[in-house]
Every structure is written in C-alpha cells, then in structure tokens.
C-alpha cells in the first residue's frame, strides 16, 4: 500500500485539484515539498513527472499545458527554486497558458529571519499571474475550509483567464509523516460559466460591409478547424486579405502566409494601396516586424481586436475591443457578411505571386547556408509531425516558407525568449504523445541544455540544431552590428557542438555540413527509434547574414 502525507492541507490540495480535473503534476526534488511529492507521486490518479531543474520544469509544464489545454501543476521546494519558474510564468502569462505554481515554503515566522532557503515567496509572481494565494498551515476546521475556498477561487481564475496562478504553502517539520488513506474527500466541483460582454454584431457587420479594404491579421493561435473554416469564408471576398504566420495554424490558398515576402519598403503610393480601412486582428503575438512597422505608419481607420483575454493596442490605432472567443463572434458575424467588389485582394496577390518567383529563384542560386538549410528542413517535414520552433532567427526563417497543413506549429512568442524553447518542446511532446521535431539555433540550444536532463524524454522526440557558431540575429538587426563589440558581447561566438551532450543524455546524433548530406539524412532522422535524436546542421563557414540580407534585397 502506497503512503500519502498525513498533512490535511496536502490531502486537501490534492483532492481539490482532482475535483477540478487537474491531474498533470511536475515535481522537482526538494525537502520542503516532500509532503506534496509523496502525496502526488503515490496517488495513481495523478500523472507525475520528475524534472530536476525548476527553470526547465516550468517550460516543460508550459509545453504540456499548451497541448492538453488545461492546467499543469509545477511543484518545488522553497527559496530560489520557486524563483526559477519565473521565465516560464512570464511566457505562459502572455500566451494565456494555464500553469499552477504550487510552491512549498518555510513557516511564515522564518521569512526575513535568515533561515535557509527562505525568500519572500508570497506574491512572487504577482505581476505575471492572475491569482496568488498564501495558504495556512493550520489544520483547524475553519482554516481548512478557508484554504479550500482560496484554492477554489484561484483555480477558477486559472481556468477562466487561462493564465498562471501561484499557490504558496508553508510547511513546518516534520515533513514526511504518512498515512495509508486520505481523510478528505471532495466531490467534483461545478465550474461557473464564464461571462462575456454583450457585443453588437450588427454594428460590426454594417461597418464591415461598407468597407472595400479589410485586412485580417492572425497571430499566435492554437490549431482550430472551426476557426479556420470561418476565416476561409471571409477570405472569399475580394475586399478582404487574410494575413497569417506559421504559428497562426490556419491554411488556405487565399491566405497570405508569408507576410515578410509581401511587406517591403515600397513607394508611398504603393503602400497606400496596401493599407486597410478596417484591420481585424485575432490571436496573440505577431512575429513579423515588417507588418508591425507598416500598420503603425499606415494606420487603419478602424482597428478591431478579437480575443477573450487581451486587447493590445499593438499598432496604436485600436478602436474596438471584441472581448470573446473568436469562433463565437465569427459564428454570428460571418453569415451576415456581403462580398464587396474591390481590387484589394488582387493588389496584394500580384505582389505575392511576383515575390514567390523571386523567392524560388534566390533559394535555388545560393550556396549552403542557414536559409538554404531551412528550405530543405521545411520541405522534408513528415506529415502529421508537430513542429516546435525556437526563437530569434529560427522562427524568422520559418516565416519565409510554406508549411504543410498537417504540421501544427508552436513557438514561445509570449515574451519571445530563447531560454526555455527546448524544454517547452519536450513538454509538448510528452503531453501530446505526437511525433515532435524541435528546430533550434545553437545559442538557444546550449542555453537550455538542461532540458535534455529529463527522465521522461520520449524516444519520438527530435531536435534539428542549426549551428552557425553564435547569435547570428545580432548581425541582422539594426544596432549591434554597428558597435565594436558585436562578436564578443552580442553574437557570442563559440566552437561548441552537440556531440558530447548527445552522448551524455543518450541521444542519437548526426552532423551534416552540406546540402547533399542534409537531404540524405532525413529518412533516418525521422525513422522510428528507441532513442531521441539530434541532427546538427553546421553552417559556421557560411555567409548567413549576407545571404539573408541578399534575400530581402532580391524581393525589391
């Protein structure tokens, strides 16, 4: 018989999670959270995972929650362990991914009294979470009831706002006393329905139908067939252009899925012809700086943002906030839309067609480099594999290529950091059980190398590492390249490879440095195996920055 904690508050938190349908728990080793670890690990109703590094564990939870679309719990000991969750929490906050931080703490009277592993944990994540609670250690009936109510309200916020929350639990010793059966039982809790503001759909419809130049811009969005179907109906109108990115996860031949190929420094007259009268933005972060610059300089008369969580004024032109689920609004809106005669779609499409020809010509003529490798990588994605992109140059390269509709694409664009991309991808692979390939740059890969230290690593996880010997993005973006210290302090040149890490963490490993070897490597790389795999693409001797600048020059 497995033993659980004898602490009633520990039993209470576990039973409350189950009553809310929350059963994914990531545990990091520690003593102060020993009672919690014993409780979850010895209860077969929970799916528990051990991840040693708390910073990595936070991102693993993010990847899991991203896929199962319900809260995942991360649980750790006291002190700096809790603070190590912060990067993942900020990312989850801006992506609206529900993570529950369950942190063990020292007794309250020891805070600020120089006790070991003791920091100010209460409200630690206040700026990047939607609910923070400090539970009582007391096991008096009134305090147990209060703890349950505090936890319940926090979990409802977590679900309604789809965002991180923090539950802090102080523990006095002894920590490991146990019992065989729980003293607490909780029935399934009914979660109240979420309320949305009333929306005058008819007013929006009238304004939409009166306009001859309408743009829909879709940012980061989880795959959703119904959402995609509704947008396809809107896109049949010649007065409408739909702009998407790989992370929008919607596909149609009328969608403009490679924004950076179309938006370029044109004449004022040409830019005016591309400017929308109405801009409808949906979803979260947009990667393309070019579309942001264009819409900030050529502001629409009306900017509507459709999202149930965020209403950002990204282009400094926001006029209407539509605070509901996109599919709920579109289900009411689309049936009343009337197509309007317009040259707007044709204007955009003529640029796209011309630039697609230039794109293909340029890719065919360049030597092996990051851009050439990316063309090969994207063409060779297997059907139905999940794609997880790292940040920085990797996701920007990804924006330049067509992706298959069968490949869902994800990237941490909430705060756009490189710090936990690999950990997120591993968490997503574990939770979805879908074949997953992570495409990452070298700085991001080595920065998050503790992600590979994960006993839950699936054998069907793959990493494509593009190693160009440093942070090449600092050669592309304005500013750093004009300094005298770009190589030492921005680009951070190095001579590392992944070979020794692959050996240490039991990954199959292969390195290629030319197009022929790369093209020949994919069959074996994606083949079923008993171990995860790393394919390292060495482009350190290539003129990657000059080639990418040449690419955009070729589109002029």
Mean pLDDT of the 455-470 span:
95
- Has residue 190 been placed in a domain? no
**Does one domain contain both 344 and 371?**
no
- Has residue 355 been placed in a domain? no
Assign 122 a pLDDT band (cuts: 50, 70, 90): very high
- Has residue 56 been placed in a domain? yes
Assign 248 a pLDDT band (cuts: 50, 70, 90): very high
**Does one domain contain both 37 and 167?**
yes
**Does one domain contain both 144 and 216?**
no
**3-class SS string, 492-526:** CCCCCCCHHHHHHCCCEEEEECCHHHHHHHHHHHH
Mean pLDDT of the 13-29 span:
97
The CATH number for 391's domain is 3.40.50.970
pLDDT of residue 270: 84
Q: Give percent above pLDDT 90 in the chain.
A: 85
- Has residue 269 been placed in a domain? yes
Domain span at 34: 4-173
pLDDT of residue 118: 78
The tokens for 127 are 């700026």
Assign 113 a pLDDT band (cuts: 50, 70, 90): confident
Last residue in a domain, options 297, 323, 350: 350
382-428 pLDDT, tens digit each:
999 999 999 989 999 999 999 999 999 999 999 999 999 999 999 99
Please give the tally of structural domains in the chain: 3
pLDDT of residue 503: 98
CA 523 to chain centre: 28
Taking a C-beta distance cutoff of 8 angstroms, is the pair 435, 507 a contact?
no
Q: What is the pTM of this model?
A: 0.94
pLDDT of residue 271: 87
**Does one domain contain both 49 and 168?**
yes
**Does one domain contain both 161 and 210?**
no
pLDDT of residue 493: 78
Last residue in a domain, options 293, 318, 350: 350
Mean pLDDT of the 527-540 span:
97
Inter-helix orientation angle 515-526/370-379, to 10°: 40
- Helix H or strand E encompassing 179: strand 178-179
194-208 pLDDT, tens digit each:
999 999 999 999 999
- Has residue 359 been placed in a domain? no
Taking a C-beta distance cutoff of 8 angstroms, is the pair 154, 134 a contact?
no
Whether the bond between 302 and the residue before it is cis, its omega within 30 degrees of 0, is no
Three-class secondary structure of residue 49 per DSSP? strand
Q: Which residues contact 67 (CB under 8 A, 6 or more apart)?
A: 427, 428, 431, 432, 434
**Does one domain contain both 327 and 380?**
no
**Does one domain contain both 208 and 96?**
no
**Does one domain contain both 119 and 148?**
yes
Taking a C-beta distance cutoff of 8 angstroms, is the pair 342, 241 a contact?
no
Q: Which residue has the higher pLDDT, 410 or 492?
A: 410
* Residue 402, CA distances (Å) to 55, 129, 251, 378, 533 in order: 33, 35, 10, 8, 25
Report the distance separating Cα 17 and Cα 45, nearest Å: 11
- Backbone φ, ψ for residue 392 (5° rounding): 65, -130
Nearest 5°: the CA angle 220, 211, 346 is 70
Residue 537 pLDDT exceeds 70: yes
pLDDT of residue 492: 76
pLDDT of residue 349: 96
Last residue in a domain, options 134, 155, 173: 173
**Does one domain contain both 344 and 397?**
no
The tokens for 543 are 């003129």
Mean pLDDT of the 538-547 span:
92
- Has residue 381 been placed in a domain? yes
- Give strand pairing partners of 54: none
**Does one domain contain both 125 and 220?**
no
Place of tokens 């994605």: 381
**Does one domain contain both 386 and 531?**
yes
**3-class SS string, 188-247:** CCCCCCCCCCCCCHHHHHHHHHHCCCEEEEECCCCCCHHHHHHHHHHHCCCCEEEECCHH
- Helix H or strand E encompassing 102: strand 99-105
Q: Which residue has the higher pLDDT, 556 or 412?
A: 412
- Has residue 192 been placed in a domain? no
Residue 173 pLDDT exceeds 70: yes
Residue 482 pLDDT exceeds 80: no
**Does one domain contain both 216 and 158?**
no
- Has residue 185 been placed in a domain? no
Nearest 5°: the CA angle 419, 87, 535 is 25
Mean pLDDT of the 231-260 span:
97
pLDDT of residue 1: 53
Residue 473 pLDDT exceeds 70: no
The CATH number for 282's domain is 3.40.50.1220
């Amino acid at each position: 018989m497995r033993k659980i904690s004898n602490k009633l508050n520990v039993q209470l938190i576990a039973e409350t999670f189950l009553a809310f349908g929350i059963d994914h728990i990531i545990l990091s080793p520690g003593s102060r959270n020993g009672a919690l670890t014993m409780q979850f690990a010895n209860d077969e109703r929970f799916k528990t995972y051990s991840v040693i590094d708390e910073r990595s564990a936070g991102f693993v939870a993010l990847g899991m929650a991203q896929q199962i679309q319900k809260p995942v719990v991360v649980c750790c000991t006291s002190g700096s362990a809790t603070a190590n969750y912060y990067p993942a929490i900020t990312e989850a906050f801006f992506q609206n991914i529900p993570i529950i931080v369950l942190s063990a703490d020292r007794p309250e009277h020891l805070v600020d009294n120089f006790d070991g592993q003791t920091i100010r944990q209460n409200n630690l994540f206040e700026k990047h979470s939607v609910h923070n609670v400090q539970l009582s250690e007391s096991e008096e009936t009134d305090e147990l009831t209060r703890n349950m109510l505090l936890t319940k309200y926090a979990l409802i916020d977590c679900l309604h706002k789809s965002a991180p929350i923090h539950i802090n639990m102080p523990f006095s010793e002894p920590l490991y006393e146990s019992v065989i059966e729980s003293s607490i039982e909780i029935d399934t809790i009914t979660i109240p329905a979420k309320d949305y503001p009333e929306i005058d759909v008819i007013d929006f419809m009238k304004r939409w139908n009166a306009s001859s130049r309408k743009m829909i811009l879709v940012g980061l969005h989880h795959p959703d067939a119904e959402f995609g179907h509704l947008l396809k109906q809107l896109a049949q109108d010649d007065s409408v252009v739909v702009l998407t990115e790989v992370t929008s996860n919607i596909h149609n031949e009328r969608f403009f899925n490679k924004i950076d190929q179309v938006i370029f420094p044109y004449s004022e007259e040409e830019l005016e012809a591309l400017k929308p009268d109405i801009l409808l933005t949906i979803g979260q972060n947009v990667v393309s700086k070019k579309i942001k610059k264009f819409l900030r300089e050529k502001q629409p008369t009306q900017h509507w943002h459709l999202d149930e969580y965020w209403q950002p004024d990204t282009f400094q032109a926001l006029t209407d906030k539509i605070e509901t689920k996109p599919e709920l609004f579109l289900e009411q809106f689309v049936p009343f839309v009337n197509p309007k005669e317009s040259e707007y779609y044709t204007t955009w499409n003529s640029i796209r067609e011309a630039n697609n020809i230039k794109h293909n010509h340029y890719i065919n003529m360049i030597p092996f480099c990051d851009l050439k490798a990316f063309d090969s990588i994207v063409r060779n994605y297997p059907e139905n594999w999940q794609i997880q992109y790292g940040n920085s140059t990797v996701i920007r390269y990804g924006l330049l290529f067509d992706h298959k509709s069968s490949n869902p694409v994800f990237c941490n664009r909430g705060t756009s950091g490189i710090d936990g991309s690999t950990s997120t991808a591993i968490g997503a692979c574990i939770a979805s059980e879908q074949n997953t390939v992570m495409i990452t740059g070298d700085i991001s890969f080595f920065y998050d190398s503790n992600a590979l230290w994960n006993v839950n690593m699936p054998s069907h996880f793959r990493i494509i590492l593009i190693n160009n010997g440093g942070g090449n993005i600092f050669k592309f973006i304005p500013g750093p390249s004009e300094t005298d210290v770009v190589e030492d302090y921005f680009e951070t040149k190095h001579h590392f490879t992944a070979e020794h890490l692959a050996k240490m963490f039991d990954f199959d490993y292969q390195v290629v440095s030319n197009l022929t070897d790369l093209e020949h490597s994919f069959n074996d790389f994606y083949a079923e195996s008993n171990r995860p795999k790393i394919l390292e693409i060495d482009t350190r001797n290539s003129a990657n920055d000059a080639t990418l600048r040449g690419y955009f020059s070729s589109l002029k």
